[in-house]
Structure 1
């Protein structure tokens, strides 16, 4: 039986690549996608999300619009990427996407889908967790309908990737955007698996990988994935090729959990400066699972095979 999946992403390039990867998974039944206005402007991000569904003939999957804005905004230049994505050759001439203001709110869609699901639902978060927390605050009884939450988030034994004023650099961006919701999610003690920087740091987007992917250019998904990753070369930091497989590595956990090394820990989240959003090990904290390592060779081969469909 296919795994029921709700996905919440925040519209960045690696989020959309993650959506594309989910759509290649034969054992996953994607029952809804919600978009958080974090690393994106929400209107073009919803259009990108819909276009990817169109590309594979699954535009009937419902979308939810996040209308909650976090505490610490992502840089504007990162958030504008969906505008470029919607103009890519494989996407620009697809039929017009729905009016982005007509979508159901993200939290309500999560509540509806969990309520009506015939089995427990896995939730994949590749952006901040705010929409899920809002949904569970509206309907806390639905915690029992969740099989697992897989979240690309956190940094435990490595440095964070937030560099901004009044911050000591210990946090990862998905947590930093809304540390209060992150702390709430951890406190719920759901079956929660974090894919933190500790493991994503092992999986950079290398030019060797992109060169191999380019040999599959006759496959539509490989062609599009290569174009999307090419847009990341000047992103973080400028002109240095240090983009990592953050979200897509977390997404691959759905299909290859046995290729990850994981650990059950007690942890917590800081909600105030100078370390707002820091995820840290804490014996007095909450129980969750974190990934610490991954078989990277298997992972890269898996991506190449999935995008060759």
Structure 2
């Protein structure tokens, strides 16, 4: 029986790639998608999300609109990327997406999907955790319906990827956007698996990978994902900022958990500058699972196979 998965993403290129990857998984039943206005502007991001569902013949999957804005905003240049995605040749002429303000709010859709799921649900989060926390604050009894929460977030034994004012660089962006909700999430003590920078740092978007992917250009998904990833080569705000397969790696965990090394640790999160959003190990913290390593070669081959459709 396919695994029921509810996905919450924040509209960036790697989030949209992750949504496509989920839709290629035969053992996954995607029961809903919610979008957080973090690394995106919400209207074009919902349009991108809907267009990708259309492309895969899955437009019946319900969408939820995040209307909570976090504490520390992502750079506006990053947030504008869905506008470019929507203009790509394979997407620009697809039928118009619904009015984004007709969607349920993201927390309400999460509540609806968990309530009506016949069994337990895996939650995949590739953006901040705010929508899930807001949903469980309204309906705390639904925490029991969560089989596992897989979250691309955090940096435990490595440096963060935040380069901004009044910050020491120790945090990862999905946590920094709303460290208060991250603290609340840890306090809920859910079956939470972090896919942090500790492991995503092993899987950069390399030109060698893109070159191999381009040899599959006759396959629609290889063609489209190659265009998505090509947009990451000049990642703003600086050429020195390497684009990694953050969300894609977290998503692949659904299909190949045995290819990851994980460990159970006790962790906390800082909510104040100069290290707001830093996730750190602490014996007095909350029990979570973190991924520390992955079979890199297997992962890249898995992507090439999944997008050869």
Residue 170 of structure 1 deviates from its aligned partner by 0.5
Structure 1: distance between partners of 2:74 and 2:241: 20
Q: Which runs of 5+ in 1 are unaligned?
A: none
Q: Which residue of 1 aligns with 2:65?
A: 65
Name whichever of 38-47 and 231-240 sits farther off.
Answer: 231-240
Q: Which residue of 2 aligns with 1:303?
A: 303
Structure 1: distance between partners of 2:94 and 2:81: 18
Q: Is the 8 A contact 1:32 1:113 kept in 2?
A: yes
Residue 71 of structure 1 deviates from its aligned partner by 0.1
What's the Cα RMSD here?
0.7
Q: Which residue of 1 aligns with 2:247?
A: 247
Residue 102 of structure 1 deviates from its aligned partner by 0.7
Structure 1: distance between partners of 2:308 and 2:42: 30
Name whichever of 285-294 and 241-250 sits farther off.
Answer: 241-250
Structure 2: distance between partners of 1:186 and 1:221: 36
Report the secondary structure of 1:96's partner residue.
coil
Q: Which residue of 1 aligns with 2:4?
A: 4
Structure 2: distance between partners of 1:135 and 1:295: 34
Report the secondary structure of 1:39's partner residue.
coil
Structure 2: distance between partners of 1:204 and 1:125: 20
Name whichever of 229-238 and 180-189 sits farther off.
Answer: 229-238
Cα deviation per residue 1:149-202 (whole Å; 9 max; x = unaligned)?
000000000000111111111000000000000111111110000000000000
Cα deviation per residue 1:272-303 (whole Å; 9 max; x = unaligned)?
11110000000000000000000000000000
Q: Which residue of 1 aligns with 2:221?
A: 221
- After superposing on structure 2, the runs of 4+ consecutive aligned residues of structure 1 that deviate more than 3 Å are none
Q: Which residue of 2 aligns with 1:15?
A: 15
Report the secondary structure of 1:101's partner residue.
helix
CA spacing shift, 1:178–1:241, aligned 2, 3 Å: closer
Structure 1: distance between partners of 2:100 and 2:300: 34
Q: Size of the alignment, in residue pairs? A: 309
Structure 1: distance between partners of 2:276 and 2:236: 21
Cα deviation per residue 1:85-123 (whole Å; 9 max; x = unaligned)?
000000000001001111100000000110111000000
Q: Which residue of 2 aligns with 1:263?
A: 263
Structure 1: distance between partners of 2:42 and 2:133: 19
Structure 2: distance between partners of 1:71 and 1:94: 35
Q: Is the 8 A contact 2:77 2:236 kept in 1?
A: no
Q: Which residue of 1 aligns with 2:83?
A: 83
Report the secondary structure of 2:262's partner residue.
strand
Residue 241 of structure 1 deviates from its aligned partner by 6.9
TM-score by length of 2: 0.99
Structure 2: distance between partners of 1:274 and 1:265: 24
Q: Which residue of 1 aligns with 2:154?
A: 154
Q: Is the 8 A contact 1:36 1:65 kept in 2?
A: yes
Structure 2: distance between partners of 1:165 and 1:208: 34
Structure 2: distance between partners of 1:123 and 1:241: 29
Residue 239 of structure 1 deviates from its aligned partner by 3.0
TM-score by length of 1: 0.99
Q: Which residue of 2 aligns with 1:230?
A: 230
Q: Which runs of 5+ in 2 are unaligned?
A: none
Residue 242 of structure 1 deviates from its aligned partner by 1.6
Structure 1: distance between partners of 2:107 and 2:260: 30
Q: Which residue of 1 aligns with 2:174?
A: 174
Structure 2: distance between partners of 1:19 and 1:190: 23
Structure 2: distance between partners of 1:201 and 1:86: 28
Residue 238 of structure 1 deviates from its aligned partner by 2.7
Q: Which residue of 2 aligns with 1:34?
A: 34
Q: Is the 8 A contact 1:7 1:34 kept in 2?
A: yes
